[in-house]
Amino acid sequence: MTPFPRPDYAGVRRYDPGRAPVRLDLSDNTNLWGTHPAALERIRRATTDDLARYPELYADRLREAVAERFDVPPECVTTGAGSDDVLDSVFRASFAPGARVSYAAPTFSMVEPFAHMNGMEAHAVAWPEAEADPSALFEGDPDLVYVCRPNNPTGGFPARAWIDGLLSERGEDGPLVVVDEAYADFAGETLLPDAPSIPKLLVTRTASKAYGLAGLRCGYAVASAEVALEADKSRGPYKVSGLAAEAAALAVRDEDGWMAGVVEETLRNRARFTDELTTRGHPPLPSRANFVLLPAPSGAARQDTLALREVGVGVRPFSGVPGMGDGLRITVGPWPLMEGFLSAFDEVFATAAHETAAREAARGKASRETAR
């Protein structure tokens, strides 16, 4: 008999980003302008049937909306309760004893747990190494390769030529490649319409970011019909609630409406915020997403995150980012919120700089006195 829990679950933990409520939460890259108005209106018009009856088995109305918007066949679309669920399903569909997921790191923090939850081994390749040579991601003969574009948490955006190189390196019998496009609405460039015609490529999207629907838990992906079917089978029926699917479908269809305005303002504010931080001597990495990664001002991300929390501001710490060390990831939102961050930043880090200078001055004075 297999013990409970299964032995390889010993290292699996509940997700705990250490996120207590704060006055100004810039830690999770959600839409800080709010939610899609048509989606909200649909939820407000909910009927008894919407709640009392089961939804569509495989969220067909959402699949049709995605198919129309991106001009792909509906059978090439799969859905899930968040893109987390899509990723988990496709990892599960790729599992075989000893299977391996290879990914360019640092990246979305759930990739490693999803691999472990599905009995797979996770193999990280540092982004600079993968970027210089995509074949590094195929070392060790992985069964699935994961790439995030734009990448969370760096905001980096591998060029299309790099993706094409990755796909051609893989060869005919290579592993499934998953490209996570959770933030692609902000990058203005996508692989999604090409996915049906590229064998074993799955491109995931979420309703949680640009659409402002994180609370609904809805995501989707596009691939060849064969891959989309395997993801559907692995995920199972009735996973996307009817209201979530319908609300997300309205947002998907509204390509040039509310969301386009949010994206435009995000890009404007990201540039302005980057300038403000650069002026303060703390330039963040260039980003194609709705967040920026800033080298931790003290060099220690956890300490800086706690210091910002003390003044009511939430950011996400990262340690050991190649070429950077520790970093703080900050979501870009409406300008008054960014101003709120900047004044907290000035308060915390000007004080920290002041204290360091005072400590150094005191140390200097003490050593002068000892020398006397």
CB-nearer residue toward ligand PMP: 112 or 297:
112
Q: Does 27 help bind ligand PMP (rule: CB under 6 A)?
A: no
Q: Which stretch binds ligand PMP (CB under 6 A): 36-44, 206-214, 220-228, 309-317?
A: 206-214
Q: How far is the CB of 92 from ligand PMP (least distance, A)?
A: 15
CB-nearer residue toward ligand PMP: 107 or 269:
107
Q: Which of 77, 179, 182, 201 binds ligand PMP (CB under 6 A)?
A: 182
Q: Minimal CB distance to ligand PMP: which residue?
A: 82
Q: How far is the CB of 28 from ligand PMP (least distance, A)?
A: 6
Q: Which of 196, 219, 327, 333 binds ligand PMP (CB under 6 A)?
A: 219
Q: Does 82 help bind ligand PMP (rule: CB under 6 A)?
A: yes
Q: Which of 40, 136, 198, 214 binds ligand PMP (CB under 6 A)?
A: 214
Q: Which of 25, 58, 84, 245 binds ligand PMP (CB under 6 A)?
A: 84
Q: Which of 148, 167, 240, 244 binds ligand PMP (CB under 6 A)?
A: 148
How far apart CA 99 and CA 141 sit, in angstroms, is: 9
Applying CB under 6 A, the site for ligand PMP has a residue count of 13
Q: Which two tokens stand for residue 222?
A: 């596009």
291-295 and 325-331 strand pairing: antiparallel
User: What sign does the dihedral 15-19-20-25 (CA atoms) show?
Assistant: negative
Q: Which stretch binds ligand PMP (CB under 6 A): 47-55, 76-84, 220-228, 261-269?
A: 76-84
The answer to whether the beta carbons of residues 74 and 61 sit under 8 Å apart is no
Q: How far is the CB of 355 from ligand PMP (least distance, A)?
A: 34
Q: Does 250 help bind ligand PMP (rule: CB under 6 A)?
A: no
Q: Which two tokens stand for residue 64?
A: 């049709």
How far apart CA 202 and CA 223 sit, in angstroms, is: 5
Q: How far is the CB of 166 from ligand PMP (least distance, A)?
A: 17
Strand order in the sheet with 77-80: 77-80, 219-222, 201-206, 176-180, 144-148, 100-105, 121-126
Q: Which of 27, 208, 241, 331 binds ligand PMP (CB under 6 A)?
A: 208
Buried b or exposed e, range 93-132, using 16+ CB within 10 angstroms: bbbeeebbbbbbbbbbebbbbbbbbbbbebbebbbeebee
Q: How far is the CB of 164 from ligand PMP (least distance, A)?
A: 21
Q: Which of 79, 83, 241, 331 binds ligand PMP (CB under 6 A)?
A: 83
Q: Which two tokens stand for residue 157?
A: 């955006």
CB-nearer residue toward ligand PMP: 30 or 269:
30
Q: Which two tokens stand for residue 266?
A: 């995000």
3-class SS of residue 270: helix
Strands (DSSP E) contained in the chain are 24-25, 77-80, 100-105, 121-126, 144-148, 176-180, 201-206, 219-222, 291-295, 313-314, 316-321, 325-331
Q: Which stretch binds ligand PMP (CB under 6 A): 82-90, 185-193, 306-314, 324-332?
A: 82-90
Query: Which H or E run includes 163?
Result: helix 160-170
CB-nearer residue toward ligand PMP: 150 or 297:
150
3-class SS of residue 188: coil
Q: How far is the CB of 11 from ligand PMP (least distance, A)?
A: 21
Q: How far is the CB of 73 from ligand PMP (least distance, A)?
A: 23
The answer to whether the beta carbons of residues 216 and 222 sit under 8 Å apart is no
Q: Which of 79, 89, 152, 305 binds ligand PMP (CB under 6 A)?
A: 152
Q: How far is the CB of 86 from ligand PMP (least distance, A)?
A: 8
The answer to whether the beta carbons of residues 33 and 212 sit under 8 Å apart is yes
CB-nearer residue toward ligand PMP: 208 or 305:
208
First CA to last CA across the chain, in angstroms? 76
Q: Which chain residues interact with ligand PMP by CB under 6 A?
A: 29, 82-84, 108, 148, 152, 180, 182, 206, 208, 214, 219
